[in-house]
A and B are shown apart, each in its own frame.
Chain A
Amino acid sequence: MAGPAPLLELRDYSLSIDSFDGRLQVLDGVSFSIAPGEVVGIVGETGCGKSITVKSVIGLVPSPPAKVESGTVSFDGRDITAAGESAIRRLRGREVAMIFQDPMTYLNPLFTVGQQLSDVIRAKEALDPAAAPRTRAERRAKALALLGQVHLPDPERQFESYPHQLSGGMRQRVLIAMALAGSPRLLIADEPTTALDVTIQAQILDLVKELVETLGMAVIIISHDLGVVAALCRRILVMYAGTIVEDAGTADLFENPRHPYTRGLLAAIPRLDGSVTSLSGIPGSIPNFIEPPQGCRFHPRCAQAGARCGRERPRNLEVAPDHWTACHLFDGGVE
């Protein structure tokens, strides 16, 4: 793929997780890259492996039970596949930050917003030996500046608030402020607006857009909502059962979807303008990961599958400029 040297790159990355029932082949040959400053979305049904992909990259999936079966992950040209805990922690603390669907899980109910944000700021300092430690007042000033940057209303007052005193949208702003404390080069947002009402979601989407423009950081947005990624991202990865099935520019993906799974998702969405009068779902459900389907993992649910699909794993092919898909239909046929 053309363009600048990637910030994050996964190549043929496969991950298994040992569970009570057996070994789950959770990720299978995942390859994609994110350029500096690029905003990319990952979509797919619940359980497709969206969260596991990004969490394992930044060391949030403990190993064991997880095990890298093949492939590499590199960040800014460094191979971090086998990086030790402390190296990953440093990466996570400074260069990569993550926010989640439910901010309450990541905020301590017993401490004020200000205390928690100041703690994060101090932790980031500790990771950067070159930076002179700040005084308490400086940290407070920095925290207030961050709260201002995420447009938390009345930051002086909210600095003294406890998480439960804030609305869902405000908590998500606080979490974003914490993520920004280390000036990350990559922000990963896992379903950041899924728990929010639509008018509040619009505010958070606007904020993310503004931060991308002013700070130039790269962002990965994970969402099950194709509207959310369409509104924010230049490029979208479609994930199915631990594989990337399609990778395309946003306009191209919606106007010219190729993979039957992508087409299936798009045909399932009711439209606000009433332009769709009949919906078709995708029959069946996500396979189990202990014995995932051979060949193309989507083949048991695919209306276009042929004999080859159950036999042979489809290659990832560039079907149009910067538009990749993994489906035999585009690689010599399904029979």
Chain B
Amino acid sequence: MSAPGEAREPGEPLLELRGLTRHFRLKEGLTGQRTAIALDGIDLKLRRGAAYGLVGESGSGKTTVARLILRLLQPTSGQILFAGQDITGLKGEALMKLRERIQIVFQDPHASLNPRKTILFSVAEPLVVHRRLKGPALRHRVEELLEIVGLPGGFLFRYPHELSGGQKQRACIARAVALNPELLVLDEPTSALDVSVQAQVLEFLHDLKARLDLTYLFISHDLSVVRYLCDRVAVMYMGKVVEEGTVDAVFESPSHPYTESLLSAVPLPQARQPAGRIVLSGDVPSATAIPPGCPFHPRCPRKIGPVCETAVPRLEPRLRDRAVACHLYGSET
């Protein structure tokens, strides 16, 4: 399969997803069964040093991507390559080693910090488990990490409930970068925070990436946040990537009708709203009943005809800076 963006992105990608698919079996009643297609054959490449955004509405499969990359979940089919190595089937010691190189930060910092343990304990834990650090060396490294995330020494012996939401998220980030990972997956890391606090965390994440040489996979339903922090973006709809490209290209001139409507639906914090807003009708379909053909066709304002209802559009390169999965562009690639 030709991965989009290949020709334009020299060098080996840090992370590559090939045809990644995940189904969930759902029990229905006593004997019945349905299949939820959470992820349906996505291909992505993250260059080292990228801040890669993954956007889409709830249920589009973003968290499933994160869990698959972290190997918290097995794919139904497809491959995950990390630094050129197929990590899809890694087990045991090799998987432990991989976990040092890929870390995750979740939306809810409460759930990620043990309420009965100090911040020192939570941040130290990965260092103890993976590096067998202890004593003054351990304490020193934790202090250094808290310094990096902007939580001074006074926080060492505090408990999560004594920290604000933003401070807790910083502690989670300190824990995630403790082992010097190469890839940081951030799943809606600022969605639970007020904008005033989110701004601080975003600024900090921006600096942290350069300082620690990180690559980000930044998952968010908030398009403005992705515009601010990321350089490339993939837009997901119902388990598929419908558009992929540089953030500037995708946000300034979206090609896919879904991207276009999604961007147009965001109400803007400014004196006047732009004219000609697209309001999509209907709801997002269920993952157990994905429409045939283009999954977006029942809601698409630019549907071109029966081809949209029957043929699945493939993600194909378009223009110089993006790839799109839509029959509108079928003949002009």
- Which residues of A are at the interface with B, using a C-beta cutoff of 8 A? 45-46, 153, 167, 169-170, 197-203, 205-206, 224-228, 230-231, 250-251, 254-255, 264-274, 276-283, 285
Contact = CB atoms under 8 A, between A and B. Distances in A.
B231 to A, nearest CB: 11
25 contacts: A170-B283, A197-B58, A197-B221, A199-B265, A203-B280, A224-B194, A225-B267, A227-B269, A228-B267, A230-B270, A230-B273, A254-B270, A254-B271, A266-B269, A268-B198, A269-B199, A270-B229, A271-B228, A272-B224, A272-B227, A272-B251, A272-B263, A274-B248, A279-B228, A281-B203
A276 B195 CA distance: 14
B277 A202 contact: yes
Nearest to B281: A203
A269 to B, nearest CB: 5
B57 A199 contact: yes
Contacts of B279: 199, 202-203, 206
Given A197-B221, A202-B277, A281 B57 contact: no
Contacts of B273: 230-231
Interface in B164-209: 164, 166, 194-200, 202-203
A232 B199 CA distance: 24
A239 to B, nearest CB: 13
A224 B195 contact: yes
B202 A46 contact: no
B268 interface: yes
B282 A278 contact: no
Nearest to B60: A197
Q: Which 9 interchain pairs have the tightest Cβ spacing?
A: A281-B200, A231-B267, A226-B269, A281-B199, A270-B228, A268-B199, A227-B267, A197-B57, A202-B265
Interface string B257-280: 000011101111111110001011
B223 interface: yes
A265 B262 contact: no
A205 B280 CA distance: 12
B151 interface: no
Contacts of B14: none
Interface string B154-171: 000000000010100000
Interface in B223-266: 223-225, 227-229, 247-248, 251, 261-263, 265-266
B194 A45 contact: yes
A272 B199 contact: no
B284 interface: yes
Q: Which of B199, B224, B225, B280 has the most CB of A within 10 A?
A: B199
Nearest to A151: B281
A200 B284 CA distance: 9
B105 to A, nearest CB: 18
B235 to A, nearest CB: 12
Nearest to B272: A251
Contacts of B271: 230, 250-251, 254-255
B268 A230 contact: yes
A46 B193 CA distance: 9
A224 B265 CA distance: 17
Nearest to B286: A167
Contacts of A197: 57-58, 221, 284
Nearest to A193: B267
A46 B194 contact: yes
A126 B58 CA distance: 41
A283 B271 CA distance: 26
B290 to A, nearest CB: 16
Contacts of A279: 199-200, 202-203, 228
A200 B283 CA distance: 7
Contact of A274 (B222, B251, B284): B251
A266 B199 CA distance: 10
A169 B286 CA distance: 14
Contacts of B57: 197-199
B251 A281 contact: no
B192 to A, nearest CB: 10
Contacts of B284: 167, 197, 199-200
A280 B204 CA distance: 11
Contacts of A199: 57, 261-262, 265, 279-280, 284
Nearest to B195: A268
Contacts of A206: 279
A278 B203 CA distance: 7
A45 B265 contact: no
Nearest to A301: B196
Nearest to B284: A197
A86 to B, nearest CB: 38
Interface in B273-303: 273, 277, 279-284
Contacts of B247: 274
Contacts of A269: 195, 199, 224, 269
A170 to B, nearest CB: 7
B202 to A, nearest CB: 6
A45 B203 CA distance: 19
Contacts of A251: 271-272
A45 B195 CA distance: 8
B304 to A, nearest CB: 21
Contacts of A278: 203
A264 B265 CA distance: 25
A251 B195 CA distance: 21
A57 B58 CA distance: 35
B248 A205 contact: no
Contact of A227 (B196, B225, B266): B266
Given A227-B268, A265-B196, A198 B262 contact: yes
Contact of A271 (B227, B248, B281): B227
A199 B264 CA distance: 9
Contacts of B195: 45, 224, 226, 265, 268-269
Nearest to B57: A197
Contact of A167 (B225, B280, B283): B283
Given A197-B284, A274-B228, 17 more contacts: A45-B196, A46-B194, A197-B221, A198-B266, A199-B265, A201-B267, A202-B267, A224-B195, A227-B267, A251-B271, A254-B271, A266-B269, A270-B224, A271-B224, A271-B269, A281-B197, A281-B198
